[in-house]
């Protein structure tokens, strides 16, 4: 999956501890976390994930993030 394709398709689906980034109607890749997710949104070229414990992570790829 290309991060750019997922960004262009723009669909994010949140599960309890997983965020699915769709890059076509039926295909997606997942970001799996150890904490429960409150919300996830695209912010420019990054995905910002809000966690139930109050932390916020900014993902710039499937496995690269920074805690804000």
The string of pLDDT tens digits covering residues 12-31 is 999 999 999 999 999 999 99
Calculated CA dihedral for residues 51, 35, 52, 15, nearest 10 degrees: 80
Q: Can you tell me the distance from the alpha carbon of 27 to that of 36, in angstroms, rounded to the nearest whole number?
A: 23
pLDDT computed for residue 1 by the predictor:
58
Task: Give the pLDDT band of residue 64 (cuts 50, 70, 90).
Answer: very high
The string of pLDDT tens digits covering residues 19-63 is 999 999 999 999 999 999 999 999 999 999 999 999 999 999 998
What are the strands, taking DSSP E only, across 3-63? 11-14, 18-22, 28-32, 37-43, 46-51, 56-61
Q: Where are the domains of the chain?
A: 3-60
């Amino acid at each position: 999956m290309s991060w750019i394709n997922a960004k262009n398709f723009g669909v994010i689906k949140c599960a309890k501890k997983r965020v699915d980034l769709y890059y076509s109607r039926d295909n997606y890749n997942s970001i799996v976390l150890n904490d429960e997710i409150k919300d996830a949104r695209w912010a420019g070229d990054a995905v910002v994930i809000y966690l139930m414990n109050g932390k916020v992570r900014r993902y710039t790829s499937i496995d690269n993030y920074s805690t804000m």
